[in-house]
Amino acid sequence: MGSHALLSASSSKRWLSCPPSARLCAEVEDTTSEYAKEGTDAHTLCEYKVKKMLGIDMQDPTDSLSYYNEEMERCAEEYASYILEIIEDAKQYCKDPLVLIEQRLDFSRYVPDGFGTGDCLIIADKTLYIVDFKYGKGVEVDSEDNPQMMCYAVGALELFNNLYDIENVCMVIYQPRIENISVSSMNVTELYNWAENTLKPIAELAYEGKGEFKAGDHCQFCKIKATCRKRAEYNMELAKYDFEEPAELTDEEVSEILIKSSDLVSWVSDVKDYALNQAIQGKNYPNLKLVEGRSNRKYLNEEEAAKAVIAAGYDPYEKKLLGITSMTSLLGKTKFNEVLGNLIYKPQGKPTLVLESDKRPAMQINDFIDEREENNYE
């Protein structure tokens, strides 16, 4: 087996929900996106920052990082500071907490060939802390009932439960680019019950390529999401509303459509991307053809174009104030707040319908009515 386990912790949400997907995904060649490479660089930098803070010798990797920039530097520094905060808090009730960085964790007693790498483990008396750094900003990750974190926790207990009297596990997702720090806790008994009664039996099914296919939000990072029949059936259920007899949909039907709409849009996009890649490689689809997309005109040489416009007596450049994010990067958070703190405001967001599981509080209809004219909502 290569460097990636068939039943990895990072993909556990998918194979726990859809066991047969594990073997099917294993048949598809691995590809590494630019986002994944960027994340790898960020993890490397974080490892260095934390080890440096702890006095552990490690060569500065900055010059070798392809995606290094000021944002990555800031995120790594903040991550190291957060780890230090946990350690200092732990020292209030534990004289000498054990800190492990990039620790390999083996949970193969419950998952065949199961292993992963914990970004940071801290053991302080009866509490085990597991911190996972996420550099991505596309999806907010929650630590509550997070199978990846729970697999890591099981692996850590396999290593240390005989050495330490651990009673509780504190799991932390640290996602700095969207200011998400998600913290949740489980007692060891609950965790072992989950590992024995849920993780182990489903992992055995997944390893053997058995079990039932199931579509859901876990499909997002599945390698066969574009061609999976179960996902197609799941999304095509919305087509039944084309044949509804009543003139108007019921409230329940409207709710069902909206709840599934994001999955439907995502599925169609995945199928289109897959088909386009296949067509570029020579595949022909019935009633479809490959054409050249629309494009915009571009300067052959921007510097020469600017010179030509200046020579004609015009100013070719526009001046505009930097946006909030760019200005924060320019000044730094502290200076930004010092210089512009009293000149920044956050207007009320436009009303939008979301799932009940969304963390934002429900908007009061009176608030919307009061703001409607001011914000010109239609």
Q: Which two tokens stand for residue 198?
A: 């849920």
Hunting for tokens 């239609």 — which residue is that?
378
pLDDT at 2: 40
Pairing of strands 115-124, 98-106: antiparallel
pLDDT at 292: 83
| 234 Cβ neighbours under 8 A, 6+ residues apart | 215, 216, 263
State phi, psi for 127 to the nearest 5 degrees: -120, 135
H helix or E strand, kind and range, residue 132:
strand 127-133
pLDDT at 353: 78
Question: Are the C-beta atoms of residues 230 and 213 closer than 8 Å to each other?
Answer: yes
pTM value is 0.73
Annotate 118-152 with b (16+ C-beta within 10 A) or e (fewer): bbbbbbbeebbbbbbbbbeeeeebebeebbbbbbb
Could you state, in order of their start, the residue ranges of all structural domains in the chain? 12-207, 217-280, 302-343
- CA–CA distance, 7 with 12 (Å, rounded to integer): 7
Alpha helices in 161-250 (DSSP H): 188-194, 200-207, 229-236
pLDDT at 271: 86
Nearest to 32 by CA among 282, 273, 223, 176: 223
| Parts of the chain with a pLDDT under 50 | 1-3, 377-378
CATH 1.20.120 fits 12-207, yes or no: no
Q: Which two tokens stand for residue 75?
A: 């995120």
Beta strands (DSSP E) in the chain are: 98-106, 115-124, 127-133, 168-175, 180-187
Q: Which two tokens stand for residue 377?
A: 């909502």
pLDDT at 1: 35
